[in-house]
Structure 1
Amino acid sequence: MQNFNDAEMAGLTQAVIYHLDEWKISAEDMLRLLGLPEEVRPRHMQQYRQGDKVFPQTEDILHRIDHVVGIADALRTTFPFSNQMRLMWLQKPHRRFQKRSPLTVMLDEGTDGLMKVRIEVDCAYGYAINDALHAQAMKAAGTA
């Protein structure tokens, strides 16, 4: 797990809040999506937004942040000229998610949901995961 200094973590926190604000999700949903501790309340999101607080550097939260940033980057690549299209893609039911929206999948399934959505929208990430799984299977087959 990578450790960030205070300034880096402040920048990362504000960048993630910016992406989640673009996705037009509530403070409650931000807490769920990021897996923040129970003592963090929706009203605290303003402190994160302003840079007064930074997200905790736990493995789970950093993993979730990585997915949020990856999804946001992939959406900007897919829909470079339209924030409205990025938002529509996140909110529209999708056949690969059993008619659930990508945002619903992320909120309902946590880290696994974030990964599913990222694989769907970011083909490079999907290929990297597939390659890693293939290499792992080949290694396991070679040791059997």
Structure 2
Amino acid sequence: MTHLTRDERLLLTRRTMQLLEDWGATARDMIDLLQLPNTIKARHLGRFRDQDVFPDDPVINRRIAYLERIEQALHTYFPRNPEMRKLWVRRAHKQFGQRAPMAVMIEDGESGLIAVLSHLDCTFAWDLTGSRADYQRAS
């Protein structure tokens, strides 16, 4: 986010907060998902809805990017039904050992975010496995 203006960062912060609220994330879940610093308490999260921006930290920025890509992929799966997008992250899935994607993202940290995104977005998984590099070498 370092290349973004304060207004752009504020918009991104608000969008991320709204997304997490739509998914039913608690304040503790939001702090864990984003790996916010220990100085930010649950009672302070309201500031991010109003006037503050998330800290400009590479870990937080990467996690926000994962969350955005997950939402984009869900929008592709359920283009006309936002309620299904919300339900999908809260419903247990066989692919995640009967855990909900939200639980996977919270409990497993960054690897959980990657697992959920890889499940939803085959191009992300393809890039991760090195298949893209293998394909480019063969071309």
Match of 2:38 in 1: 38
Deviation at residue 10 of structure 1 after TM alignment: 0.8
Could you tell me which residue of structure 2 aligns to residue 22 of structure 1?
Answer: 22
Alpha-carbon spacing, 1:108–1:92, altered in 2? closer, same or farther (3 Å): same
Instruction: Provide the alpha-carbon RMSD of the alignment.
Output: 2.0
Q: How far did 1:3 drift? A: 3.2
Structure 2 unaligned spans of 5+:
none
- Is the Cα contact below 8 Å between 1:3 and 1:57 reproduced in 2? no
Within-5 A mapping of 1:1-144: 2-50=2-50, 52-130=51-129, 132=130, 135=133
Would the aligned equivalents of 2:126 and 2:132 in 1 still touch at CA under 8 Å?
no
One-letter amino acid matched to 1:114: L
**Secondary structure of residue in 1 paired with 2:30:** helix
Q: Percent identity?
A: 33
Counterpart contact for 1:34–1:65, Cα < 8 Å: yes
Cα contact 2:104–2:113 (8 A) shared by 1? yes
Distance in 2, matches of 1:5 and 1:18, equals 20
Give per-residue Cα distances to partners, 1:87-114, cap 9 Å, x unaligned: 2211111111111111100000111110
Q: Could you tell me how far apart the structure 2 residues matched to 1:9 and 1:92 are?
A: 31
Partners of 1:26 and 1:133 lie apart in 2 by 37
- In structure 1, C-alpha distance between the alignment counterparts of 2:63 and 2:114, rounded to whole Å: 9
Please state how far the C-alpha of 1:134 moved relative to its aligned partner.
6.0
Counterpart of 2:56 in structure 1: which amino acid? Q
Q: How many Å apart are 1:28 and its aligned residue? A: 1.3
Map Cα deviations across residues 53-97 of structure 1 (whole Å, 9 max, x no partner): 100111110110000000011111111121221122111111111
